Amino acid sequence: MKVLTLLPLFSLVLWLSPASGADGGVLATGGKFTGTQSCGTTGCHGGGTIHNESIIYERKDPHAVSYGILGKGTSLRIAEALGIKGDPAKDIQCNVCHAPMQGVAPDLFVKDLKPDRGVGCESCHGAAENWLRFHTRPDVEFAQIIAAGMRDLNDIYNRANSCVGCHLNLDESLRKAGHPELFFELDGQCAAQPPHYHDARPSLGSRSWLTGQAAALREMSWKLAAKQDENFLPRWKALVWLLQKTDLGRTELPVTEDFSTMQKAADGLARKAAQKLWPTGLVKAQLKEFAAVYTEFEAAKADKVQLQRKAEVLVPALDRLWRELVKSGASKQTECEAAIQSLHLLALDHEDFDPVRFAGTLGQLKVLLAREDAPSAAK
């Protein structure tokens, strides 16, 4: 059935069913949707500086406009190429990610509610009917609210699962029709959302990065197990290559090209990564290990497409780990930032990726990182 291949594993439709294995069934309590408007009144999340989540969402969050773009230029061209007749927002090929409530059965909304247009509060936080009235009461524990169906996004594994369903696996027909390729990296995308919450837990950056990439590997493996995809395969290989260079990845991920085996292992990795704290020394060591792979990009005979895909997953890793070092005060070496930015631009060049230049800049980063460790490091 064609429609099924379009549904991301953690899409709304699936998380309404308790069968969605990797998520532990946290969302499946059967409550109805109450709509984003029910969250944003001034007495609630639309109320000034403390409870301003809805204000941040309305003003800055890309999800608030994800429905709107379906009616415009590029979307109409994509829709035409796919043979979609009429409004793309009414078509499951688009609204499953851009306007998920449009595809939900009417009896799943509280009485008389008009479904949200974009990706609303409940797309991430869970259907609110069963917890809306009591979730602010001081005598109610967080666990009780979660039991009533709110999604525990404080848990990094759950957080990764809630985003990755819409942010990675795109049907090849959509890509060919002109839809931008999707990439998932939890830590950077949480920062870019921008967050309407404060989360200052230790080593959140490295943990989120690794958990998110492991969840991405699980989803890619799931997709490839279901269907061959020549464009996607080098991306899968690149991510396996990268994650097998981390401590947890080395122990959790098998050396195999069997996608189902990898799907399971990647899920295990994501769960462990969500719990594992990274001391500063580990962040530094990991960064150095990543920088040291520059020699692999120098190899003259290597496959350029594969190398570009490796660069594409390596650069966000460098970026997130580097930012964490700076945040923790363990590094002040600003030249590294410029090097990472250059690597980012080089990695974006799908058409004409230059592995030798990439290797050169990565080698420079390695030198900069080593310099900072020398006892006489100049400040």
Of the pair 208, 361, the CB lying nearest ligand HEC is at: 208
Q: How far apart are CA 89 and CA 155, in angstroms?
A: 31
Beta bridge partners of 33: 109
CA angle 257, 258, 264 (to 5 degrees): 120
Q: How far apart are CA 61 and CA 58, in angstroms?
A: 6
Give the binding range for ligand HEC (CB under 6 A) out of 25-33, 55-63, 272-280, 337-345. Answer: 55-63
Structure-block tokens of residue 195: 């967050």
**In 3-state terms, what secondary structure has residue 215?**
helix
Residue 369 CA, chain-centre distance (Å), reads 27
For ligand HEC, the binding residue among 90, 175, 196, 371 (CB under 6 A) is: 196
Of the pair 110, 292, the CB lying nearest ligand HEC is at: 110
Residue 280, number of CB atoms within 10 A of its CB: 16
Interface with ligand HEC includes 62 (CB under 6 A)?
Answer: yes
Q: How far apart are CA 43 and CA 48, in angstroms?
A: 9
Which 174-193 residues touch ligand HEC, going by CB under 6 A? 174, 179-180, 182, 189-190, 192-193
Interface with ligand HEC includes 260 (CB under 6 A)?
Answer: no
Interface with ligand HEC includes 94 (CB under 6 A)?
Answer: yes
Residue 12 CA, chain-centre distance (Å), reads 16
Interface with ligand HEC includes 63 (CB under 6 A)?
Answer: yes
| Least distance in angstroms from the C-beta of 182 to ligand HEC | 5
For ligand HEC, the binding residue among 60, 137, 142, 199 (CB under 6 A) is: 199
Interface with ligand HEC includes 167 (CB under 6 A)?
Answer: yes
Interface with ligand HEC includes 88 (CB under 6 A)?
Answer: yes
Q: CA separation (Å) from 325 to 91, 204, 286, 294, 322?
A: 44, 11, 11, 21, 5
Interface with ligand HEC includes 325 (CB under 6 A)?
Answer: no
Interface with ligand HEC includes 243 (CB under 6 A)?
Answer: no
Q: Is the peptide bond before 194 cis (omega within 30 degrees of 0)?
A: yes
Give the binding range for ligand HEC (CB under 6 A) out of 127-135, 197-205, 249-257, 297-305. Answer: 197-205
Of the pair 41, 256, the CB lying nearest ligand HEC is at: 41
C-alpha count within 13 angstroms, C-beta hemisphere, residue 74: 10
Structure-block tokens of residue 287: 């960064």
Interface with ligand HEC includes 93 (CB under 6 A)?
Answer: yes
Q: How far apart are CA 204 and CA 274, in angstroms?
A: 9
Of the pair 200, 255, the CB lying nearest ligand HEC is at: 200
Exposed/middle/buried for residue 46 (C-beta within 10 Å: 0-12, 13-18, 19+) = middle
- Number of chain positions touching ligand HEC (CB under 6 A): 52
For ligand HEC, the binding residue among 15, 32, 53, 161 (CB under 6 A) is: 53
Interface with ligand HEC includes 223 (CB under 6 A)?
Answer: no
**In 3-state terms, what secondary structure has residue 236?**
helix
Residues that bind ligand HEC (CB under 6 A): 8, 36, 39-40, 45, 53-54, 57, 62-63, 65-66, 69-70, 74-75, 78-79, 82, 88, 93-94, 96-98, 100, 119, 121, 123-125, 153-154, 159, 162-163, 165-167, 170, 174, 179-180, 182, 189-190, 192-193, 196-199
